[in-house]
Amino acid sequence: MEYIVHLGILTAIYSILAVSLNLSVGYTGILSVTHAAFFGLGAYTTAILTTRYELNFFVSLIVGIAITAVVALFIGRVLSKFRGDFVALGSVGFNMIVWSIFLNWQELTRGPLGIPGIGRPELFGFSFGDNLSFLVLAAVFAVLVYAVARFIESSSFGRALKAIREDEEALQVFGYCVLHYKLAVFTIGAGMAAVAGSLFASYITFIDPSTFTLNESIFLLSVIILGGLASNKGAVIGAVVLILLPEALRFVGFPADIAAQTRQAVYGIMLIVLMLYRPQGLVGEYKL
C-alpha cells in the first residue's frame, strides 16, 4: 500500500510539472527546456526557508512561487530575443546556469551535499506527516493547477496563445502584443512548477542538485510529447505513463544481471514506436 501511495504522490507532482510545461510548449509553441530549473527553485526555496528559518511550508510555497516567477520573467525576457530553435538552446543554457548555482553556492544550498531534514507541511495544527495525507495534499494541488490550466485554455487568453503558436506574425497584425502573452504564460507555468518543487522537497525531505539537471527538463518535455501537446488531459496521461511504466517493468522478470538495462531498452523502444506512429502523442492536437 505504501508503494502505491508513493507512486500516487510522484504522479501528482509530475502531473503539475507536465500541465505547467504544456502551457508554454503545447499551447504557445515556446520550446522551453528549462522547466527543471523552475522545479528546483521551488524545491530549494522551501528547503532553505523551512530548515534554516523554520518558516511554515505554505509560506515557503508562496515565497517560492514569487521568486520563481521573477526569475522566469527575466529568463523569458531574454529568450524573447531568440527565434525558433535558438529559444530551446537558450533555455538549455539557463537550466545549466541555475543548476550550477545549486551546485556551487554552498553557503546557501550546501552544494552537492544537499539539504536534509526538510519537514512535512502543517496547517492549523494538522501535520501531513504520513504519506496518505500527503497524497491528498498533492492531489489537491494537482487538481487546482489542472483547473487553472483548463481555465486558461478555454479563455480568450488561451485562444490567443494558440494563435501565437500557429502564426505569431499574423496575431501581431491584429494589434496583439505577443511578447506580453508569452511572458505571462511562461511566468505562470514557472510558478506552477515551483508548487511541484515545494511538494517534492517536503515529500522526499532531502534535495540536492542532481534532481534538477538538464536531463530532468528533457524528461518533462518527453512527458508532454508522449501524452499529447496542447492537451491538459494528455499532460496528465503522459505523467502517469512515464511514472508508472518503469515501475511496471520491474515486475516483468528480466534476468537479474541485465534487468536494469533491459527495462531501459524496452522503455526506450516503446517511446520510439509511439513517436513514429503517433507523433502528436496519445491525445494531443499539435506536434512539434
How do residues 265-279 score in pLDDT, each as one tens digit? 776 787 788 778 777
Question: Looking at the predicted structure, is the pLDDT value of residue 80 above 70?
Answer: yes
Residue 260's pLDDT band (cuts 50, 70, 90): low
Question: Looking at the predicted structure, is the pLDDT value of residue 259 above 70?
Answer: no
153-193 pLDDT tens trace = 999 999 999 999 988 888 888 888 999 999 999 999 999 99
| Whether the Cβ atoms of residue 32 and residue 93 lie closer than 8 Å to each other | no
Cite the DSSP H helix spans in 55-130.
Answer: 57-79, 85-104, 106-109
pLDDT of residue 255: 72
Matching residue, cell 524496452: 266
Closest CA to 220 of 27, 28, 39: 39
pLDDT of residue 214: 93
Residue 206's pLDDT band (cuts 50, 70, 90): very high
Matching residue, cell 536494469: 260
The 8-class DSSP code of residue 121 comes to P
pTM of the predicted model, to two decimals?
A: 0.94
pLDDT of residue 97: 96
How many C-beta atoms surround the C-beta of residue 1 within 10 A?
A: 7
Burial environment of residue 179 by CB neighbours within 10 A (0 to 12, 13 to 18, 19 or more):
middle
Q: Where are the beta strands (DSSP E) in the chain?
A: 115-116, 122-123, 126-127, 206-207
Number of H helices, E strands in the chain: 12, 4
How many C-beta atoms surround the C-beta of residue 51 within 10 A?
A: 18
- Distance between the two ends of the chain, CA-based, in angstroms? 39
134 versus 245: the higher-pLDDT residue is 134
